Amino acid sequence: MTFNSNLNLLKAIGRTPCVKLENISKLTGHEVWAKLEFMNPGGSIKDRIAMYMIEKAEREGKIKPGDTIIENSSGNTAMGLAIVCRQKGYKLKIVIRDTTSKEKIKMLEIMGVDVIKVNAALPPEHPDSYNNFAEKYAAENPGVFYIDQHNNLDNNEAHYMSTGPEIWQQMNGRIDYFVAGVGTGGTCTGAGRYLKEQDPGIAVIGVDPVGSIFYDYFKQKKLVKPSRYLIEGLGDEFLIKTAQLEMLDDMIQVTDKQAIEHTFLLVAQEGILSGGSSGANIYGVVTLAKKIRKPSVICTVICDSGYKYLSTVYNDDWLTANNLI
């Protein structure tokens, strides 16, 4: 056996395994596969966009080593950016909701990130809210580059260029449905667009939490008032450029409780410890499977590892306090 020992850390991003979920396949009566994105160096799918967006900004002359980058993130994009910035010599500021898991915040602080915690209860239109703080800070501080994963279409392009082709190759073109949560929408619509170009018969199904505005807008073109939800990394209070909902064939709505239940289902059936957004994806798979009449091949994404959620998703006190058990 030979090993490639010439890789630097950034070259280890991507090319993650895609595995058959044997027991969930039996449970649903369909062939279910999952791409294990927690095997990226930063532990999540967001490593892909962090590297791609920074390297594209470098090529376009927008940033140079020594500059400061700022982004608002639920934690995973932040960790990906922290790794890339460490490797390339950038300073990093991350705006994060104060409800984000302690593990994510602590890891960022250990990585030397300037973590700016904002009040998650602030209305989305507030200038100091999670949605607006980073953009405002960059506008007021020349020399600070705002990545803007929620509106920068390089996010989608990253998945079009890497995640989508990897899934197509790993599945040998055998795929009927691609199911993925919509946070920024980059994964679902970027990879989904690539897959549809290879086979227009592939259906792309988005998953959105109750409290987000995407589901109602997709179904009825209706903008509802957002409400608070607990699953990190999914949904939004605004329509954003990267959530290209027109790419989707359908959308499934998930409650916090359903997402958590299926996070535990993934552990019980497959031994995979994931975050709540992956549980939401599994809920989407199981819900979709009930509607499909003929045996089909479904592929989804395990977005990140459960080790980041030991104080929340896997903590009985947190679950009880939030009426999730």
Residue 302: inside a domain, yes or no? yes
**pTM of the entire structure?**
0.95
50 lies in the same domain as 35: no
Residue 323 lies in a domain: no
Shared-domain flag, residues 31 and 91: no
Same domain flag for 100 and 212: no
Query: Where does a domain end: 146, 178, 207?
Result: 146
DSSP 30-89: SEEEEEEGGGSTTSBTHHHHHHHHHHHHHHTTS--TT-EEEEE-SSHHHHHHHHHHHHHT
Domain of 84: which CATH number? 3.40.50.1100
Those residues with Cβ within 8 angstroms of residue 59's Cβ, 6 or more apart along the chain or in another chain: none
Residues 190 and 214 both lie in one domain:
yes
Q: Are residues 28 and 95 in the same domain?
A: no
Same domain for 75 and 22? Answer: no
Number of domains in the chain: 2
Asked if 181 and 304 sit in the same domain, the reply is: yes
DSSP 8-state class, residue 20: E
| 33 plus 175 within the same structural domain | yes
Query: Domain range holding 213?
Result: 9-39+162-318
Task: Give the catalytic positions in this structure.
Answer: 46
β-strands 203-209, 177-181: how paired?
A: parallel
98 and 169 together in one domain: no
- Return per-residue pLDDT of the chain as tens, 325 residues: 556 665 799 999 999 999 999 999 999 999 999 999 999 999 999 999 999 999 999 999 999 989 999 999 978 999 999 999 999 999 999 999 999 888 989 999 999 999 999 999 998 889 999 889 999 999 999 889 999 999 999 999 999 999 999 999 999 999 999 999 999 999 999 999 999 999 999 999 999 999 999 999 999 999 999 999 999 999 999 999 999 999 999 999 999 999 999 999 999 999 999 999 999 999 999 999 999 999 999 999 999 999 999 999 999 999 999 999 8
Domain end, chosen from 116, 146, 176, is at: 146
- Say yes or no: 29 and 53 in one domain: no
**Is the domain of 174 the same as that of 204?**
yes
325 is a domain residue = no
| Residue that terminates a domain, selected from 146, 172, 187 | 146
With respect to residue 156, please indicate whether it lies within any of the assigned structural domains. Answer: no
In a shared domain, residues 170 and 112: no
Instruction: Find the radius of gyration of the CA atoms of the chain.
Output: 19
Judge whether 152 lies within some domain: no
